[in-house]
C-alpha cells in the first residue's frame, strides 16, 4: 500500500522547463549602487502569497520590498506573472528571475504549477545559472538554487548572489545535503568579487549546520545574523537550528540585519531577513 502511494507521488512529480524565466516588468537600473545595497531574503510558503491581497499581508510585503535592491525568495509558485507577488514586485519597481524546481499537484503549488526560487532586483543580472540538486527528497522532489551576477556602479568587480533552497529530508545520511552544498561551494570558490549567499538552507540540526558553515568558511563568507537569535525561524523538529541565513564577502554592513515577524502574523511560516551593505 505504502509503495503504491510512493510510486504514485513519484509519477506526479514532473521536471519543469528549466529555462530561467523573467518575472515582472523590465529592469529599471543598469548597476547596483556601491554605497547602498539592501538585501531581503524570505521563504514565502508556496501559495501563501495568494493571501497577500489581505490588508495585513499586503502591508507587510509592501514595507519589506519598498527599499530593497535584491530580494531572494524561496517556495515561489509559477507563473509569477500572475497574482499578488507580481503586483508587489511591480509596486517596488523590482523585476526578477525565476528558476523552477519541480511541479506536483500534491507536494508543490498544486494544479501542475512549478515551485522554485526567485531573485528580484532593480538591475538586470549579467549572468544567471540554475543549480538543481543532484538528489531528491525521499526520491521525490529536487531543490533548486539560483546564481545571479550583477554589475556595481564604478567598480570592476561583479556581485554574485546565490539564492539557495537546500534539501530538507533524505533517507539515512547527509550525503545528499553535502552534495548540494558542494555544488554551491564550487560556484562560490570560482568568484573573485563580492558575494551574497542567502536562502532557506534547511540547516535544522547541528550536523547540517556544521556542513553549511564549512562551505561558507572555505569561501571566506561571514554570517550577518547571530545563530542564537531566537527571532529567526527554526526547525520545528530535528534540532531547532535556524533555517534561513544571509552570508556575505567583500561587503560591509551599513545597517544591522533585521528579522521580520511574518510567522507570527501567518503571512508565511518563515520570518524574513534583511540587511544593508556597501561595497568599499
Under 8 Å between Cβ of 241 and 209: yes
**159 located within any domain:** yes
Instruction: Please give the residue range of the domain that contains residue 130.
Output: 25-278
Question: Which residues lie across from 38 on neighbouring strands?
Answer: 276
Q: Which three cell numbers stand for residue 55?
A: 490588508
How confident is the prediction along the chain (280 residues), in pLDDT tens digits per residue?
Answer: 434 444 444 446 665 555 566 665 677 778 999 999 999 999 998 755 656 656 667 778 888 998 899 999 999 988 776 667 888 888 899 998 999 888 777 777 877 788 899 999 999 999 999 998 888 877 778 899 999 999 999 999 999 999 999 998 776 666 889 999 999 999 999 999 999 999 999 999 999 999 999 999 999 999 999 988 888 999 877 778 999 999 999 999 999 999 999 888 888 889 999 999 999 8
**17 located within any domain:** no
**125 located within any domain:** yes
Closest CA to 197 of 183, 179, 177: 183
What's the domain count of the chain?
Answer: 1
**43 located within any domain:** yes
Residue-level pLDDT at 81:
62
**14 located within any domain:** no
Closest CA to 199 of 174, 181, 219, 186: 181
**CATH number for the domain that contains residue 65:** 3.60.10.10
Q: How far is 162 from 226, CA to CA, in rounded Å?
A: 20
The model carries a pTM of 0.91
**Which residues 6+ apart lie within 8 Å of 271 measured at CB?**
231, 232, 233, 244, 259, 260, 261, 262, 263
Q: How far is 278 from 280, CA to CA, in rounded Å?
A: 6
**60 located within any domain:** yes
Residue-level pLDDT at 131:
93
**12 located within any domain:** no
Residue 180: helix, strand or coil by DSSP?
helix
Q: How far is 149 from 5, CA to CA, in rounded Å?
A: 41
Residue-level pLDDT at 15:
57
Task: Walk across the sheet containing 244-249 and list its strands.
Answer: 127-132, 144-151, 158-165, 195-200, 244-249, 222-223
Q: How far is 139 from 261, CA to CA, in rounded Å?
A: 33
**196 located within any domain:** yes
Amino acid at each position: 500500500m505504502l509503495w503504491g502511494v510512493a510510486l504514485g507521488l513519484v509519477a506526479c512529480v514532473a521536471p519543469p522547463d528549466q529555462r530561467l524565466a523573467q518575472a515582472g516588468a523590465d529592469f529599471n537600473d543598469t548597476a547596483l549602487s556601491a554605497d547602498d545595497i539592501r538585501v531581503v531574503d524570505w521563504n514565502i510558503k508556496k501559495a501563501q502569497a495568494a493571501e497577500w491581497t489581505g490588508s495585513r499581508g499586503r502591508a507587510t510585503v509592501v514595507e519589506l520590498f519598498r527599499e530593497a535592491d535584491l530580494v531572494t525568495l524561496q517556495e515561489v509558485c509559477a507563473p509569477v506573472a500572475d497574482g499578488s507577488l507580481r503586483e508587489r514586485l511591480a509596486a517596488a519597481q523590482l523585476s526578477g528571475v525565476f528558476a523552477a524546481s519541480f511541479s506536483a499537484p500534491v507536494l508543490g503549488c498544486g494544479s501542475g504549477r512549478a515551485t522554485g526560487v526567485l531573485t528580484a532586483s532593480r538591475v538586470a543580472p549579467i549572468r544567471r545559472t540554475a543549480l538543481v540538486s543532484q538528489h531528491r527528497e525521499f526520491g521525490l522532489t529536487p531543490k533548486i538554487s539560483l546564481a545571479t551576477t550583477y554589475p556595481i556602479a564604478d567598480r570592476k568587480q561583479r556581485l554574485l548572489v546565490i539564492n539557495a533552497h537546500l534539501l530538507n529530508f533524505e533517507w539515512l545520511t547527509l550525503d545528499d545535503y553535502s552534495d548540494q552544498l558542494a555544488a554551491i561551494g564550487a560556484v562560490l570558490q570560482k568568484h573573485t568579487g563580492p558575494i551574497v549567499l542567502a536562502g532557506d538552507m534547511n540547516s535544522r540540526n547541528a550536523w547540517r549546520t556544521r556542513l553549511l558553515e564549512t562551505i561558507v568558511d572555505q569561501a571566506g563568507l561571514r554570517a550577518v545574523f547571530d545563530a542564537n537569535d531566537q527571532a529567526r525561524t527554526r526547525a520545528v523538529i530535528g534540532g531547532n537550528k535556524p533555517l534561513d541565513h544571509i552570508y556575505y564577502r567583500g561587503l560591509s554592513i551599513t545597517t544591522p540585519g533585521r528579522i521580520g515577524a511574518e510567522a507570527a502574523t501567518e503571512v508565511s511560516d518563515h520570518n524574513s531577513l534583511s540587511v544593508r551593505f556597501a561595497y568599499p
